[in-house]
Every structure is written in C-alpha cells, then in structure tokens.
Amino acid sequence: MVENDGAPRAVGPSSEVAAATLTAIQAARERVRRLVDSTRFQLAVTVLIMVNAASLGLDTMPAVMRDYGDWLEATDRVCLMVFTVELGLRAFAHGKAFLRDPWCMFDALVVGIALTPSAGGLSVLRALRILRVLRLISAVPSLRRVVGALLTAMPGMASITGLLVLILYVAGVMATKLFGSAMPAAFGSLGDSLFTLFQIMTGDNWSDVAREVMHHQPLSWIFFVLYILVSTFAVLNLFMAVVVSAMESQISGELADDIERAQEEDRQRDVETLDAVKALSEDVAAMRDELARLRPA
C-alpha cells in the first residue's frame, strides 16, 4: 500500500500488469534486435535480395515467363512478403532509431513502392520493382561506404562540374568560330560544337574529328591537344581525386568510430569490474565483521 494524504491506497493489479507487459515488450525487442543485427540474418537478407534480382531479370524474358511465369511471380511475392516482415522487425527492434537511420528510410521507401498496386494507370510501378535490388547497398557495408563517399564528394564534384562546363563553353565558342566553316557538321553551331567537344572529352573517335579539321587547318591540332590536356587529363581526373579523398575520409571516420566504440566498451567493462571488486570487498568486510562478532571473547 502507498500512503496518500494520510489515507492508504492499494496499488491495483492494472499497474502490475502494465509493468509486466512493458518488461515483456522490452525483452522481446531485445531478442528481435539481436536477431536482425546478427550476421546470419543480414547474410540471409542479402542472399534473398540477389534471388529476387535474378527472378526480376528472368521476368523480362518471354520464353522463360511462358514456362515458369507462375513460379517467378510466386517467388517475387514471397520475397516481397519477407522484405516487409524484415522491415517490420527492424522497426520494432530499433524503435525511433529506425526513423532516424537514412538507410532504414531508404529500405522503407523501396519496399513501399513495391507494395503499391501496379494495376491500371500505375502499371509503371511494376517496372520499379527492380529498385528492390538497390537494397543491396544498405545490406552490404562496403557498398554503403562507397555511396557514403560519393555523397560526401558531391560538393567538390559540383564545383568541378561548374569548371568543366565553363571550359566546355569557352572551347565551344572558339571551335565554332575557328572550325565552323571547315567542318560544319561537327562545329557548324554552338550546340554542335558543344556536343562534339563533349565527345572528344570522352575520347570517343576524337582523332578522326581532329584529322578531318587538320585537313583544312593544319595548325588546329594545337587546339585539340590543349583541350584534351585540360578537359580529360586535368579536370576529369579531379573527379577521381575528390572521390578518393572522400573515400579515405569515410574510412577514417568509420575507423575512428570503431576505436571510440571499442574504448567505450573497455571503459564499461572496467566499470563493471570495479563494481564487482567493490561488491566483493564489501562482502569480505561484512564476513570479517561477522567472524569478529562470533569469535568468543
């Protein structure tokens, strides 16, 4: 009983039931969390994603669909059902942390699209089922690391893209003025010049274009060599440099997080050990006092 303003008040059974229910839910959540975070469970989900990817690829082959269409459709539905259950288990296990995890939200979006009815005017969503294969990104840590590095590199890549567009535009105007009359099919207008220069930047058949122009203007090789040196060998390689730098930062950040997590676990173990030693010392002291009290005078 609990005293309240001098009057006793009995604690009803509903409070005990609520406490027991909450304890049971927390215990179940912990068991589910250990399950969904286990290596075997994640490996099974990864294998299932790959199986689903294979079935969706076979779905595009008329001959295969004619013979095994029902089996493939059943496989797709089973995979979708398992993905939905798996997503629900993860949401139950992690609670609010599930909503704060961008990868969990990505998985929820992909599965949600797959659950959308694909009949009638929404038949295009049937083709979007292949998006489920992208769940491999969230399931495989190395792929998550690569995508994280790309997202980190986006600001630097945007700056390099701006520089590349500027170089392409300046070179396009110059090429239109210099080579428009010599090769109108490739440099007759600014749009044609920009497209041709983009083709040259990728290394596609650039020597044929350059030699055709050089047939009319022998010194035009200077323009093409300088353009390739700046656009292909310099600017495009900056993209690789930015991505590699972001990848190194991503790995360094994960390594620092792992070290911090390990140190925190060590500190927790030290605290638990000290608590155990302290409790043992108190027990020994209590036993010593008890022996001293029982010892005859």
Is 130's pLDDT higher than 80? no
Q: How far is CA 248 from the centre of its chain?
A: 17
| Own/partner pairs, 142-149, CB within 8 angstroms, 24+ separation | 144/103, 145/247, 145/250, 145/251, 145/254, 146/247, 148/250, 149/243, 149/246, 149/247, 149/249, 149/250
Say if pTM beats, i.e. exceeds, 0.85: no
State what percent of residues in the chain have pLDDT above 90.
Answer: 20
Q: What is the pLDDT of residue 125?
A: 58
Among residues 246, 240, 236, the alpha carbon closest in space to that of 165 is found at 236
> Measured between alpha carbons, how far apart are the two ends of the chain, in Å?
45
pLDDT-wise least confident of 119-128, 145-154, 233-242: 119-128
pLDDT-wise least confident of 44-48, 144-148, 158-162: 144-148
Q: What is the pLDDT of residue 268?
A: 81
Higher pLDDT, 145 or 254: 145
> Which tens digit of pLDDT belongs to each residue from 13-71?
566 777 777 778 888 888 888 898 888 998 898 899 899 888 888 888 888 888 888 89
Q: What is the pLDDT of residue 126?
A: 62
Vertex 16: Cα angle to 12 and 18 (nearest 5): 110
Q: What is the pLDDT of residue 120?
A: 44
Is 226's pLDDT higher than 70? yes
Residue 2: band (very low, low, confident or very high) from pLDDT cuts 50, 70, 90: very low
